[in-house]
Amino acid sequence: MTRIEHSNLTVADIDEAIRFIRIIAPDFDVKRDERPENSYRWVHIGNDNCYFALQEPHLD
């Protein structure tokens, strides 16, 4: 059986993406929410089996 552990996605607005993901996957929780200094924000949202790694675009 094939299984996807995670997927990396660049989204325009992480908070909007989190709201959408919680509608389609209500068992997903935010596991990490980081905004390193001089870098872009990234979030891991998922459950014990899989997650999405979200990042906001950094166009500069």
Running along the chain, 60 residues long, what does each successive block of 10 average in pLDDT?
91 96 96 90 95 85
Query: Where does 6-55 sit in CATH, by number?
Result: 3.30.720
Strand extents, DSSP E, 1-60:
6-10, 29-34, 42-46, 51-55
Q: Which two tokens stand for residue 44?
A: 């891991």
Residue 60 is predicted with a pLDDT of 62
Question: What does the alpha-carbon distance between residue 57 and residue 16 come to, in Å, rounded to a whole number?
Answer: 14
Question: What does the alpha-carbon distance between residue 46 and residue 36 come to, in Å, rounded to a whole number?
Answer: 21
Taken in order 23, 9, 46, 34, the sign of the CA dihedral is negative
Residue 9 is predicted with a pLDDT of 95
The residue extents of the domains of the chain are 6-55
